Amino acid sequence: MTFRSGRHFLQIPGPSNVPDRILRAIDRPTMDHRGPGFGGLSKSVLEDLKQIFKTSGPVIIYPSSGTGAWEAAMVNTLSPGDKVLMFETGQFAGLWCELAGRIGLDAEYISGDWRGGVSADAVESRLAEDKDHQIKAVCMVHNETSTGVASNVGAVRKAIDAANHPALFFVDTISSLASIDYRHDEWGVDVTVSCSQKGLMLPPGLGFNAISEKALQASKANGFQRSYWDWGAMLSNNATGYYPYTPSTNLLYGLREAIDMLLEEGLDQVFARHDRMAAATRCAVQAWGLEILCQNPDEYSSVLTAVLVPDGCDADQVRGKILEAFDMSLGTGLGKVKGKVFRIGHLGDMNDLTLMGTLAGVEMGLSLADVPHQKGGVDKAMAYLTENALNS
């Protein structure tokens, strides 16, 4: 391969760029996961991770992808044949629904157009109809990575309460945790699902379940057989900082560093930074005369922006031109929006100049790909960032 100078711009919405501090933390000799040193590291990570989820309850760490954490949430709390209420907000909501069906749950899927989030009114209406409480869980994706739509978790919790329904509440924060404000306890979530390679800025390989007391009690009486995913075995071993099987030791070094970095910056400042990156990106897209896939400004994601290309254009061709000319990767369209959108990731280890380089690459790429657009998107984004500088 021909050498290319400079850094590769990885601007997909996850896996996100891994900061040097985290890479250095991971790059250590593997420690004995049964030894005394590991227990101290593990206990500190398990305790401080609660601050990221904003919970006082336990958080379980699996050597897994987010898909594994989806399955763990369900097999620890539900029983085969249970009905779960799910919502079509994009590709990943659909994959979670498919998983539910494959493991033997009765998934009721409320259809959507991929341009909006979960409707709290629809949740309340459907649960109010469920007089016999056949629905055992409500499952939603907080930030849909395929569409750039962020749903209102607090509003859905209020809808469940307004319907006076006992269903468990599961939320996927795979692409939102540590990037968008999230409050497991305050919003009454029973199981929060997440993973390592997005806002936590780690490589893939860790899955998480944050667990309420209600979910923990459900896990003691449900009907699914499980072994690898069993909360009971994990929690009993985690009490002393250990695991029932081999954990991802070096990723836990990295997680320790990631938590430190997030807390040093301050979670509120992390969220504000992501909001600024997202707002500046939208300024650019609108100046180009292109359309944002998400239609409701209240649901705009601060993790990514999905951009619709004009009719007759191929979004993947645009991505290919940008990769070839400028060594920058953008997210592809998935499922129903394949070829119709490209996705600009603005999460994790990002600052103003990184974003400006990203948007400059997009604007140049639109010209190279002959996509009809107006010039000046980068100027609009730069003006927004200047006017809203963090230290002004």
- Do 246 and 339 fall into the same domain? no
Q: What is the extent of the structural domain holding 379?
A: 266-387
pLDDT in tens, 257-299: 999 999 999 999 999 999 999 999 999 999 999 999 999 999 9
The pLDDT assigned to 77 comes to 98
With beta carbons less than 8 A apart as the criterion, state whether 86 and 107 touch: yes
Q: Nearest CA to 343 among 335, 361, 352, 331?
A: 331
- Would residue 336 count as lying in a domain? yes
Asked, for residue 14, whether it belongs to a domain, the answer is no
Q: What is the mean pLDDT of the chain?
A: 97
Number of structural domains the chain divides into: 2
Q: Residue 312 is part of a domain; what is its CATH number?
A: 3.90.1150.10
What would the pLDDT profile of 229-253 be if each residue is shown by its tens digit?
999 999 999 999 999 999 999 999 9
Instruction: Categorize the per-residue pLDDT at 390 as very low, low, confident or very high, splitting at 50, 70 and 90.
Output: low
CATH of the domain at 94: 3.40.640.10
**Alpha-carbon distance 149 to 302, whole Å?**
9
In a shared domain, residues 257 and 270: no
Residues 293 and 255 in one domain: no
> 145 and 34, same structural domain?
yes
User: Is position 4 within any domain?
Assistant: no
Query: pLDDT tens digits, residue range 62-116?
Result: 999 999 999 999 999 999 999 999 999 999 999 999 999 999 999 999 999 999 9
Instruction: Quickly list DSSP for 183-252.
Output: -TTTTT-SEEEEESSSTT-PPS-EEEEEE-HHHHHHHTT-----STT-HHHHHHHHTTT--SS---HHHH
Kindly state whether residues 300 and 241 are assigned to the same domain: no
In a domain, 143, yes or no: yes
Residue 11 inside a domain? The answer is no
Tell whether 345 is covered by a domain.
yes
Enter the pTM of the model: 0.97
Alpha helices in the chain (DSSP H): 20-26, 36-53, 66-75, 91-102, 120-129, 153-162, 213-219, 231-238, 249-265, 267-287, 315-326, 352-368, 377-387
Same domain as 211, residue 319: no
Whether 226 and 245 share a structural domain: yes
Question: In terms of domains, do 235 and 340 share one?
Answer: no
Consecutive H or E run containing 304: strand 304-308
- End-to-end distance of the chain based on CA atoms, in angstroms? 44
For residues 233 and 104, state if they share a domain: yes
Domain boundary among 237, 263, 289: 263
Domain match, 104 and 220 both: yes
Within this chain, do residues 241 and 254 fall inside the same structural domain, yes or no? yes
Q: Is 241 in the same domain as 298?
A: no
Contacts of 95 (CB under 8 A, 6+ apart): 67
C-alpha span between 93 and 84 (Å, rounded) = 13
Q: Domain boundary residue among 216, 244, 263?
A: 263
Tell me how far apart the alpha carbons of residues 18 and 98 are, in angstroms, rounded to a whole number.
Answer: 30
Question: Residue 2's pLDDT band (boundaries 50, 70, 90)?
Answer: confident
Is 9 domain-assigned? no
> At 103, is the secondary structure helix, strand, or coil?
coil
Q: Is residue 13 part of a domain?
A: no
Tokens (6 digits) for 12: 């997909």
Quick: pLDDT tens for 133-182.
999 999 999 999 999 999 999 999 999 999 999 999 999 999 999 999 99
Domain end call among 215, 233, 263 = 263
